[in-house]
Chains A and B, each alone.
Chain A
Amino acid sequence: MGESPIRVVWRRLLKNRPFRLGLALLIMLVLAALLADVLAPYSYKHQSLSQRFLPPFTGNHYLGTDNLGRDLFSRLLYGARISLAVGLLSVSISLFVGGLLGALAGYAGGWTDSVISRLFDLMLAFPSILLAIAIVSVLGEGLGNVMLAVGVVGVPIFGRQARASVLTTRELDYVAAARSLGAGPVRILFVHVLPNCLNPLLVLAALGVGTAVLDTAGLSFLGLGAKAPFPEWGTILADTYQYYKRAPWMVAFPGLSIMAMVLGCNLLGDGLRDVLDPRLAERG
């Protein structure tokens, strides 16, 4: 009996070095986030003013303490939870809304396609971070709104990809066969077309989580996202960067954490692209 297609893909993925590296990095970060309650020596809110600015590896403080005597290691562990959740939720918004709109545009064609495609073009005319800031200015500051803004900014990117994939898939013979058997447009789109357009969207999603983590941290760093004492990585950097001369570790470690997560997502995305979508890989 032949191997199942999922197994074949998984085996190919495991042979891909960027994918393995990215997966290992992300597994570490996910475990750190999930086990924060067990691994963190302190609560992310715990302050001890007598223990301010302690350098790394002082007692229980593996990464030192900040200006309020809070344990940086514990705060970064809890921060991993927030960054992962925010990255995944933002990309879910982009994937769901962009995927649906793009699929609709590609499948329906005509004026529906024109209207949706022009909307995507328009959104892409704005630099992404600027559009996210403009959306936050409307919705108000806060982590939830930043997450929503980052998700909305990703909509045209996923939408264009979904549209392009649907345009090619809908012309394939098995779709014509389904149509001739009497399947309705909704069934054809959701059962026959969309599942076969998932590969490039999956690649984009992996890369998108990294971008979302980066953008959310950036907006929080600018003071538009999460507020202290919430241990979002960008917020930790914003709170501590004025002390960079006195305690450089306070600035170094949150940045390295963000980089590790984004790098993990990019490596994973690159690996997925090499295996699932070789045409894209050639262009990259």
Chain B
Amino acid sequence: MKRFLARRLLELIPVVVGITLLTFMLIHLIPGDPVKVMLGERASPDQVDALRKQLGLDRSLPEQYVQYCVHAAQGDLGQSILRHTPVTEELARAFPATIELTLGALLIATVFGIPLGMAAAVKRGSWWDALCTTISLGGISMPVFWLGLMLVLLFPYYLGMFYFSGRTSLEFPHPTGFYTIDALLSGNPANLIDVLGHLVLPCATLSTIPLAMIARMTRSSMLEVLSQDYIRTARAKGLTESQVLWGHALPNALIPIVTAIGLQFGYLLGGAVMTETVFAFDGVGRLVVESVKLRDYPLVQGSVLAVALAVSLVNVLVDLLYGWLDPRVRYG
């Protein structure tokens, strides 16, 4: 397992170098003078010079890249041009929101997706199967931002349930930035109910695509496992159908499902952009969109770098989990 871990971590190095290179080039690929693009046409030459110096754009490209990597490794991703705050500070504020949203969405997707996929596989050709196919197809065909708007219309507006924007409407301290944990720490159940009430709709919206993927993956993985000899043996020795399903089939079908869930986590970290915008949820996705619109390039660069690194790291962790679950992978 140690060798497998070392190999996966070594493979991560070129990816990290590539990600830093690509995000570094972001500013340099802007057509024209990036500083003038950021400051607008009316900026004075002094302002332009000052920002150029602040961003280190007055040096040679290799020098700039080395400096960028050294600073990034030290946790310094520069200053936001419009907010005048360190980029890392903005990311530290936004990342917990996105992680909370992503985990909530994955929880919903897993809790509903696995049983749905299992039911579809066990009762192949039944209306469960048709429901699974419909949900999978609908989930990947539906615009997430539109579903969010429809849920807002249905729940907060027509039914008066849940909240349609923000992360909380109550005042309490946020030592960790994860509002569910902070609400628990505050000791007041009303805070937790309020935070969860704000999380339900964005998480449900974000869960559609992973739910579709997980249900589909569970269905095909279960179908494959159910045709194996050891399932026939389990049935032949007189086990009940639920013992066969939960004790023998599911554990063996889980490996590809776990991988699918893990890979979805990476995808969701960046894919939360739309959901966060619809629900005015202050996460990384919303931060990226706003900074692109305001041409705050250091913030765009920092956010893209942070998300890409997080996704790569999560993918390595998924691989490790995969290797732990299935020894064939780590010795392959």
Contact = CB atoms under 8 A, between A and B. Distances in A.
B124 to A, nearest CB: 14
Contact of A237 (B138, B149, B269): B149
Interface centre among A139, A214, A258 (most CB of B within 10 A): A214
Given A221-B143, A255-B146, A262-B140, 13 more contacts: A125-B18, A125-B19, A126-B22, A129-B270, A138-B30, A139-B31, A141-B293, A223-B289, A244-B149, A248-B153, A251-B146, A255-B149, A262-B143
Contact of A133 (B14, B149, B289): B289
B26 A214 contact: no
A130 B270 contact: yes
Interface string B3-18: 0000000000011001
B50 to A, nearest CB: 22
Contacts of A237: 143, 145-146, 149
Chain A: number of interface residues, binned into ranges: 35 or more
A267 B26 contact: no
Contact of B292 (A136, A218, A266): A136
Interface residues of B, number: 49
Contacts of A255: 142-143, 146-147, 149-150
Contacts of A15: none
B154 to A, nearest CB: 10
Contacts of B112: none
A151 B327 CA distance: 39
A230 to B, nearest CB: 18
B267 A127 contact: yes
Contacts of A72: none
Given A122-B18, A136-B292, A263-B141, A129 B149 contact: no
Contacts of B273: 129-130, 133, 218, 222
Given A245-B157, A263-B137, A217 B293 contact: no
B15 A125 contact: yes
B312 interface: yes
B202 to A, nearest CB: 15
Contacts of B307: 126-127, 130
Contacts of B266: 127
A118 interface: yes
A210 B141 contact: yes
A101 B267 CA distance: 25
A31 interface: no
A108 interface: no
Interface string B127-139: 0000000000110
B271 A127 contact: yes
B19 A222 contact: no
A182 B144 CA distance: 54
Interface in A113-134: 118, 121-122, 125-130, 133-134
A227 B73 CA distance: 39
Given A127-B269, A129-B271, A218-B274, A244 B293 contact: no
Contact of A126 (B147, B277, B308): B308
B22 to A, nearest CB: 7
B29 interface: yes
A283 interface: yes
6 contacts: A126-B304, A129-B273, A129-B274, A133-B273, A237-B143, A266-B141
A188 to B, nearest CB: 31
Interface in A190-236: 210, 214, 217-218, 221-224, 234
A201 B273 CA distance: 29
B270 A127 contact: yes
Interface string A233-252: 01001000100110010011
B135 to A, nearest CB: 13
A224 B293 contact: yes
B300 interface: yes
Contacts of B311: 125-127
A284 B212 CA distance: 12
A261 to B, nearest CB: 9
B150 A252 contact: yes
Given A122-B18, A222-B289, A259 B304 contact: no
